[in-house]
Amino acid sequence: ELARARAAEQAAATERQIGGMIDRMAVAAGVSRGEVMLDRETRRIAATAKPLPQLSLPGYRELETRVTTSVPGWTANLRPPLLQLPRIAMEDGKPSEAGQASLELAIWAAERTGVPVMVLGNAEDAAIVANLLSDAGIDSSVTETAGSDTVELAWITM
């Protein structure tokens, strides 16, 4: 009897945690609870974010992280709007430290949206960034531009 009561109490606590996670995802995405997708089997929660004023890609990534902080074992996927992608600063034939952080942000956004990326820069640097995107499973296309120490990224939308 006691074991059954404990199991019921644990199940209720889990449901409260999941309900809170759904609420956090809905707020993060700017959508209703009904627009949040939840898969209990794979322990994933997802939503497509509406553009929120003054929120940039790093903000959306931070919101995604916060959704599951109190519910271990769950994975959140917040699909951000197609906002401007960061520039990748290059140094000695590879992304600089700041460039690497920008590249990781761009990869996060491209993984969430599924939209391919245009890589604009000098031939060598653009090819390096395109290869790094490809290694991460991101489709991209290169457009060569005049020399610069940064590579620009843009969404390829039809």
CATH topology for 2-79?
Answer: GMP Synthetase; Chain A, domain 3 (3.30.300)
Mean pLDDT, residues 115-136: 96
Residue 61 clears pLDDT 90, i.e. is over it? yes
pLDDT at 23: 93
Cβ 138 vs Cβ 115: under 8 Å? no
pLDDT at 1: 79
- What stretch of H or E contains 8? helix 2-29
Give me the residue spans of the domains in the chain: 2-79, 88-155
Tell me: the pLDDT tens digits for 132-152? 999 999 999 999 988 778 999
Class of domain 88-155: alpha beta
> Sign of the CA dihedral 79, 85, 89, 93?
positive
Residue 70 clears pLDDT 80, i.e. is over it? no
Amino acid at 9: E
Residue 52 clears pLDDT 80, i.e. is over it? yes
Tell me: the pLDDT tens digits for 26-40? 999 999 999 999 999
Cα separation, 105 vs 138, in Å, equals 12
pLDDT at 33: 94
What pTM did the predictor assign?
Answer: 0.88
pLDDT at 42: 95
